[in-house]
Homo-oligomer: A and B are copies of this chain.
């Protein structure tokens, strides 16, 4: 039986399990530089994108999906270290409503500002702050779909490797270039690279419907509650607003980001 080739972890104090659990907290992720992914779709996308998987965990009694079973077999054959978990331990790791019985540990990948290649018509996303990791994940998924070349996370953006963010990103974390920097580094980079900084703000000067962008460009967004800080609004070359009808005074931050990114990226062609 191939199942005997990889160990079963059943005790909550087993160091392999306590390591997995540690990745649920920001401090554990910072210390190890790794994060958890979960579910067939995520593990499959990660594997196909050749993101190095450090460890796969599997719960054979739960992993009933044939595609998932084949995926697990392929990963085992590729010499990735694998463990089995008991369903009881797995419950403590999974956020899913219907857990699929497969997950992995992946190394975080950060890029340096200086390594970004700013081509003539490239679109970038800079995030000043976001309160909810789930919103950040949806924004990363949207950014990939809109053809964003990289995402710059400024000072107060939460950890993109948070399980709620990873889950909502639907695998976009595996291919997106993520950069951590502060506001000064961001503005210096934009100036040096000739990137137009386009702020999103309810009080923006331009209606996004009629705005023609200078390229390359970076859309700059702020948090759900308070939007962009004055400091960042001041450094922006342009500020865009989404005109609202009805009694609505704001949109969900991921929806607003999607509306603006697709409008900018569609006019680039």
Contacts and interface: CB of A to CB of B under 8 A. Distances in A.
A160 to B, nearest CB: 16
23 contacts: A141-B251, A142-B252, A142-B255, A144-B247, A144-B248, A145-B245, A145-B246, A145-B248, A145-B250, A145-B251, A147-B245, A147-B246, A170-B248, A170-B250, A172-B247, A172-B248, A175-B247, A208-B266, A209-B262, A209-B266, A251-B258, A252-B258, A254-B255
Nearest to A207: B266
A138 B255 contact: yes
Interface in A177-219: 208-209
Contacts of A256: 258
Contacts of A114: none
Contacts of A145: 242, 244-246, 248, 250-251
A269 interface: yes
Contacts of A251: 141-142, 145, 258
Contacts of A254: 252, 254-255
Interface residues of A, number: 38
Contacts of A246: 144-145, 147, 172, 175-176
Interface of A: 45, 49, 138, 141-142, 144-147, 168, 170-172, 175-176, 208-209, 242, 244-248, 250-252, 254-259, 262-263, 265-267, 269
A49 to B, nearest CB: 7
A29 B258 CA distance: 34
Contacts of A168: 252
B266 A141 contact: no
A267 B250 CA distance: 20
A138 B266 contact: no
A220 B146 CA distance: 22
A37 to B, nearest CB: 15
